[in-house]
Structure 1
Amino acid sequence: MDLFGFAKDVGRRVFGKESEADEKIRAMLEADNPGIQDLDVKVENGRVAISGTATDAVAMEKAVLMAGNVQGIEAVDASAVTAPAPVEEVEYYLIKSGDTLSKIAKTFYGDANAYPRIFEANREVIKDPDLIFVGQKIRIPRQVA
């Protein structure tokens, strides 16, 4: 995952002026500890570039989603993040009006009660399974056959 697009006008408000965005987004990522060592964050014109060494592919994916689901960010470049190859296939989903985690679980897994799997895969992005918002991008781990 090198460049990932996001809805610029939705998401969690983390910074007021872009001049403070580098530090605010880096602090947010470090606070929720997505597993990236030597993390560096640069924000310019609504685009975030992150660099560092991820403990695994999931840590990199979560860092990208955390940074991208910030209001004012429209793209995240993770090409400078070193990470091991993914061990699980994931799909990315853009939340639409009327979605719930149960509805998304029913669509992807055939079982609305499987929503905790989606919540756990996105715990750093979704703080409450009942509070998701239109335009938010999340990870959907593939169901193991």
Structure 2
Amino acid sequence: MVKAKYKSVLDLGEKLNIQDGDVKVTGNVLEIRGTAASPYHKDLLWDEIKKVGGDDPSDVVANIKVMDDSIYAKHTVASDESLSLIAKHYFKDPMKYKQIFAANTDVLKNPDIIHTGQELVIPNLK
């Protein structure tokens, strides 16, 4: 029953290609373990857990590690995107585009010019 409740979390884990994943049910508690590619992917999983179980769910225990925590995420630029739109997506603040630009000066020369297909580093802002 608890596994069915958190199906969307398990599906997201598959979609994000969580490595070394392990899911088991002990009593009425779902135990989830695995390694996410980035802190962003880990945050997505926790957001989904909270969406299903509330801010402090008692029926799930998750131990999600991160492969690479030197950056927040990697982002491949899609058509019609801007740095401010990307910043709004990851940080909910379009003005954080400056930090994204600063982290990518090896591939970007102007914050107003990005190209579809470019892979950008999304920096940790903590």
By percentage of residues, which structure has more helix?
A: 2
Q: Confirm or deny a common fold (TM above 0.5).
A: no
TM-score (normalizing by structure 2): 0.42
Pair member with larger Rg: 2
- Higher RCO (C-alpha under 8 Å, 6+ residues apart): 1
**TM-score w.r.t. structure 1 length?**
0.38
